Chain A
Amino acid sequence: MTLVDLANPTKFLTLTARLLPWLAAATAVLLLIGLYQSAMAPDDYQQGATVKIMFIHVPNAWLSMFVWGVMSLAALGTLVWRHPLADVAAKAAAPIGAAFTFLALVTGSLWGRPMWGTYWEWDARLTSVLILFLMYLGLIALWRAVEDPSRAARAAAILTLVGAINLPIIKFSVDWWNTLHQPASVMRMGGPVLDRAFLIPLLVMALAFSLLFVTLHLAAMRNEILRRRVRALQLMQVAQASQGPA
């Protein structure tokens, strides 16, 4: 099966049916390993045991931006290449991205209270991630508001590409402005500054959450293809009923 074949939704469904059980199993195994390593990681000399929140906060924060990046590529697929699965991919990714962003905000808030003395601060990093979350909700609302999927896809694609401006703002907000949030300690010039005792569980959890995203995204895309098939058949049924018996 070539990449071009995947443009065919029926062939995509065949591939998804084969891949999903393996992806789900790999995700579950990696999550278990990551959770075990997170539990066994030593306390940080400054933060104590609260450093364990990092193992779920950081992967969710990375994925909140990564998913919008995936949706931006899909938006290009819709507007430029008119790929038949591009808007299916974008629509299916939005609720998953919103969930990861919600988790990044909540776990960050729960980490912030003991470390900073506050659940929330209107600084650049926190505010830009909150805006990202609101943009996810806006996109989901847009998809629901427009009944025709192809019309909704074009509007959503434009909104997604405009929203992508927020990604570098989130990434570099800790460098451009004074914020309570710490600067990057893994994805930075010069390599990670985290000790291996924290870095390895963090990377395993990041990989596990990334696989979770791929698994959920493929499953949600499959659902969206079936939903469109239902819609097309219902329209055919209505058309046949209005024509009456031949």
Chain B
Amino acid sequence: MSLGPYASFIVTSYLVAAGVVLILIAWIVVDYRRQKQRLSQLDASGVVRRSGRSATEFR
């Protein structure tokens, strides 16, 4: 597969797209872990939800 004289434009496009998608995925995964960690800390400090369920009960 030859990309011709404009290979750098094509490869850069795909690399930028991959980079942005990976950053989005990483941001969402890190954010999820951070929220779960905060809920665990609140649970450990004895705070319970109005429903009486534990802070870490996600379902």
Interface residues of A (CB under 8 A from B): 10, 13-14, 17, 39-40, 43, 48-50, 52-53, 56-57, 60, 95-96, 99, 102-103, 106-107, 110-111, 113-114, 212, 216, 219-220, 222-223, 226-227, 229-230, 232-234, 236-237, 240
Contact = CB atoms under 8 A, between A and B. Distances in A.
Contacts of B21: 99, 212
Majority SS at the chain B contact face: helix
Contact of A237 (B10, B13, B47): B47
Contacts of B45: 237
A103 B20 contact: yes
A99 B39 contact: no
Interface of B: 1-7, 9-10, 12-14, 16-17, 20-21, 23-25, 27-28, 31-32, 35-36, 38-39, 42, 45, 47, 49-50, 55, 58-59
B36 to A, nearest CB: 7
Given A17-B59, A106-B16, A237-B42, A114 B47 contact: no
B6 A107 contact: no
A114 B10 CA distance: 10
Contacts of A113: 9
Given A10-B59, A106-B16, A107-B13, A52 B3 contact: yes
A137 to B, nearest CB: 15
B42 A234 contact: yes
A223 B31 contact: yes
Contacts of B47: 233, 236-237, 240
Given A10-B59, A223-B35, 8 more contacts: A13-B58, A95-B24, A103-B20, A114-B6, A222-B32, A230-B38, A233-B39, A237-B45
B20 A111 contact: no
A14 B20 CA distance: 28
